[in-house]
Amino acid sequence: MIKVGIIGATGYAGGELVRILTGHKDAEIKWYGSRSYIDKKYADVYQNMFQIVDAVCMDDNMEELADQVDVIFTATPQGLCASLVNEEILSKTKIIDLSADFRLKDVNIYEEWYKIEHKAPQFIEEAVYGLCEVNREDIKEARLVANPGCYTTCSILTAYPLAKEGLIDMDTLIIDAKSGTSGAGRGAKLPNLYCEVNENIKAYGVATHRHTPEIEGQLGYAAGRQVTLNFTPHLVPMNRGILATEYAKLTKNVSWDDVKAVYDKYYKEEKFVRVLEKDVCPETKWVEGSNYVDIGFKIDPRTGRIIMMGAIDNLVKGAAGQAVQNMNLMFGLKESEGLELVPMFP
């Protein structure tokens, strides 16, 4: 039985980790860390866990926690994991960080986009980017995994095969993405109040969103060259879900079957990536509560472009589910253990 500690257990991603791991046959949560709710019963914070979780919330003492568990999930704001981790801790336990602290390989880019000093640059090179469908073998050997962001998971997986095969002109790639409000976290913020969000849709972080260099970096690895793209996120009045619509110029004339064959080359054996039938567009409601990524595409012969579409649940495949998928790989378990969650509808 894998002993698990969670720092940030009362945020939305942390709560989703608890929900998933409660049903994981090979894992047991030993530490529900939450600086905001120390000594408060976890089930008093999340009433859905009444008579399921009896534990109380603890602090974020990573050094003490490392002596008690096999893996630590840090579902915390940027900067916290980097400020806590050290070599002694990593010699005792594995860490899966759900923040952006170790996703970018250039510390200068991290500090430029996140506006904070990186406290542990010595571990950046070692950290493995935890996109399981791309870096599976490296994840298996890792002791520090950088769990990808929600927008990035959807955006990267949607375009990855075509970028890898050189089928799209990367200089023309534009990503338009929309997310439910849980992606902004559980903290009280004026722009996320019901009256601000309901009956509204708005772009934010235009040309400045922090996930941009992460998407550029990973698709750059796929394409074998530096990538610069436009990424525009939008907030929509729903709890969960991300839909990414991506546009790019094709580099050659191809049919739907040609493109489908490229997607199948990379994803046919992937449990959690579902490439949809012709003329079927992904919808967030068909992945809600699950670890699936639904991908569809449409070729526009009039413009010579392809429109790629992807949908995920931002809290599952975009955060906690992917983190558990990484844990399963790191400990040699069945990759889908605890994650065979049928999407919820309605």
Where exactly are the structural domains of the chain? 2-126, 151-314
Task: Determine the pLDDT at residue 142.
Answer: 98
Dist. CA 96–CA 56, nearest whole Å: 22
Task: Determine the pLDDT at residue 28.
Answer: 98
2-126 CATH, one of 3.40.50.720, 3.40.190.10, 2.170.150.70, 3.20.20.370: 3.40.50.720
CATH number of the 151-314 domain: 3.30.360.10
pLDDT band of 184, cuts 50, 70, 90? confident
The mean pLDDT of 27-48, rounded to a whole number, is 97
195 is catalytic: no
Contact 342, 291 (CB under 8 A): no
Extended strands (E) in 9-116:
27-33, 71-74, 94-97
Contact 152, 214 (CB under 8 A): yes
Q: Do domains 2-126 and 151-314 have the same CATH topology?
A: no
Q: Which of 57, 132, 150, 154 is catalytic?
A: 150
Task: Determine the pLDDT at residue 280.
Answer: 98
Could you tell me how far CA 215 lies from the centroid of its own chain? 12
Angular region, 154: left φ>0, alpha ψ -120 to 50, beta rest: alpha
Contact 72, 62 (CB under 8 A): yes
72-114 pLDDT, tens digit per residue, is: 999 999 999 999 999 999 999 999 999 999 999 999 999 999 9
Q: Looking at the predicted structure, is the pLDDT value of residue 298 above 80?
A: yes
Task: Determine the pLDDT at residue 186.
Answer: 84
Residue 286, classed as helix, strand or coil, is helix
pTM greater than 0.95 (yes/no): yes
Enter the DSSP assignment of 254: -
Cβ neighbours of 327 (radius 10 Å): 29
* Tokens standing for residue 9: 């257990």
